[in-house]
Amino acid sequence: MGDDKLFLNAGWTDLNTITVPWRLGWGDDEKFDTLSAKNYSNLIAATRPQITTALGIGEDQYDEAGRIAIEELTTENEYRQRFTIFSRFGRKPLEN
């Protein structure tokens, strides 16, 4: 991983990385799936001003892209959404 130098300079040893796919809408837990989709929907709404400005697109174009993204999150399709969660850990020195 690219952050090895940071940890090694701090004296850490036995560095490990775990990656876990966090799949949205893939489980038996409908409540979790619904909350995950709602969370992503809120993210789309909250980032509208920054993204429309950065990309130079209108709100209608952004809203349409957001609608499509939410549809992909909440329906069965071949493009199932997932986030990858990274966990980095190791042994911390007893003394600094």
Which pLDDT value is given to residue 20? 87
pLDDT along the chain (96 residues), means of 10: 79 90 66 76 93 95 90 68 84 78
Which pLDDT value is given to residue 24? 65
Which pLDDT value is given to residue 79? 65
Q: How many CB atoms lie within 10 A of CB 36?
A: 21
Residue 16, Cα to own-chain centre: how many angstroms? 20
Which pLDDT value is given to residue 43? 92
- DSSP assignment string, 51-89: HHHHHT--HHHHHHHHHHHHHHHHS--SS--EEEEEEEE
Predicted TM-score (pTM) above 0.85:
no
Q: 3-class SS at 44?
A: helix
Q: What share of the chain is helix, strand, coil (3-state, %, to 5)?
A: 50, 20, 30
Which pLDDT value is given to residue 2? 63
